[in-house]
Amino acid sequence: MKIKEYRSEFIQELTPIFDAGEAESFFYLILEEKHQLKRVDLALHPDLSFSEEEIASWNAILEQLKLEIPVQYLLGKTSFYGLDFEVNENVLIPRPETEELVEWIILNQQTNKSKNQPKILDIGTGSGCIAISLAKNIPNAQVYAIDVSEKALATAQKNAKINTVDVTFLNQNILETEDLGQQFDIIVSNPPYVRNLEKQEIKKNVLDNEPHLALFVEDNDALIFYRKIAELAQKNLTINGQLYFEINQYLGKEMIELLEEMGFKNIELRKDIYGNDRMIFGKRAD
């Protein structure tokens, strides 16, 4: 069967569940991963075909997509900030919003030349996407990363090797940590922040497949991780050290109040590409 003919069938099979644009994006992601072919290759070579064996393999993937298993898990990889990352059921799939957080840190570091060898800590690293992207893009940075999940850390360590960066990974429950034991110039975290009351807003493919440990917090204490990390930052950030968070879009005001109450200065709340309150920054006071 010609690939372009199979593409039409593939998209048609998925459109009851996904919109046509998303279904088409799945097709080209899989095509590039499995066959090293891109959209332009099909345009230039419209007679390219799949063998029966290849069609059987594609159909197996198609059935899993119909169950709304994320395509990134099916391929075992994703792209983040221009880098390749292995992903599996033990880690969240990195989001574009988190790329914006990484970009913010890198740009601030480029304009702040006072620290030529910044010491950076990523709390709740998951796949390692934040820590590894910072290590790759901030020259001479010393990067550390913490996660409570040993399985997530195993994935993050593989990703550090894939991207040829040196990151020190630590298995640690941040809620049970009283002191980080050393000083950092930058602390960043994308902790669990989705309240149970917001579960109905989460897509089925996320809710059924991605690790709830990394997603959800109790409704009655949604800022538990932020409060704890900010307390540690008070002790373990250098003077004028920088604290960055990815946050729940509905709790921007509460996050500003939390950081103000804890004595942070130069607090800035930013929206993501979708117009939602998503990132916050503060400096440790003198």
Q: Identify the CA nearest to 125 among candidates 103, 142, 150.
A: 150
SS3 58: helix
What is the Cα–Cα distance from 7 to 28, expressed in whole angstroms?
A: 9
The whole-angstrom distance between residue 254's C-alpha and the CA centroid of its chain comes to 23
Tokens of 149: 């999940």
- As a whole number, mean pLDDT of residues 4-23 equals 95
- What pLDDT score does 56 carry? 96
Determine how β-strand 167-171 pairs with β-strand 216-217.
Answer: unpaired
> Is 233's pLDDT higher than 80?
yes
Rounded mean pLDDT, 261-278: 96
For residues 250 and 196, the answer to whether their CB atoms sit within 8 Å is no
- The answer to whether residue 285 scores a pLDDT higher than 70 is yes
* Cα–Cα nearest to 174, from 161, 162, 159, 191: 191
In CATH terms, the superfamily for domain 81-283 is Vaccinia Virus protein VP39 (3.40.50.150)
Give the chain's mean pLDDT. 94
Task: For 234-255, write each residue's pLDDT tens digit.
Answer: 999 999 999 999 999 999 999 9
- Tokens 């500003």 map to which residue? 256
pLDDT recorded at residue 230: 97
286 pLDDT higher than 80: no
Within 10 angstroms of residue 20's Cβ, the number of other Cβ atoms is 11
CA distance 143 to 134: 8
- pLDDT confidence bin for 46, thresholds 50/70/90: very high
Instruction: State pTM to two decimals.
Output: 0.92
pLDDT tier for residue 206 given thresholds of 50, 70 and 90: confident
Q: Give the per-residue pLDDT at 114.
A: 58
pLDDT tens-digit map of 97-154: 999 999 999 999 988 765 678 999 999 999 999 999 999 999 899 999 999 999 999 9
What pLDDT does 115 receive? 65
pLDDT of 213:
84
In angstroms, the CA 234 to CA 284 distance is 7
Q: What is the pLDDT of residue 219?
A: 85
Q: Count CB neighbours of 51 within 10 A.
A: 9
pLDDT score for 52: 95
Percent of the chain with pLDDT over 70: 99
Report d(CA 259, CA 267) in Å as an integer.
Answer: 7
In our burial notation (b when 16+ CB lie closer than 10 A, e otherwise), range 70-108 reads bbbbbbebbebbebebbbbebbbbbbebbbbbbebbbee
Mean pLDDT of 182-206: 91
